[in-house]
Amino acid sequence: MAGVRAFRPEDITAIVRLRRKIFHLTEQPSDAGLAAYYHRIFFENPWRDDAFPSFVYEDARGV
């Protein structure tokens, strides 16, 4: 079933792939660097609160 849900660490690979597909220029030259950056800002942020997560849209094709 398609819908919006909370962003999870295991979604990062799909988000990196989507980011590279849409935006060809980036400050992070490697997928690993971009994935580490996303992990830091979304999951290691000191102001992160599980009551207010970031969201992704997921359907049969994935995130």
Provide the H-helix boundaries in 1-63: 12-22, 31-43
As a whole number of angstroms, the longest Cα–Cα distance in the chain is 35
Tens of pLDDT along 5-63?
A: 999 999 999 999 999 999 988 788 899 999 999 999 999 999 999 999 999 999 989 89
pLDDT for the residue 49: 94
pLDDT for the residue 36: 97
Phi, psi of 8 (to 5 degrees): -115, 155
pLDDT for the residue 16: 96
Phi, psi of 4 (to 5 degrees): -95, 140
Residue-range domain boundaries for the chain: 3-58
Q: Which tokens go with 31? A: 């997928």
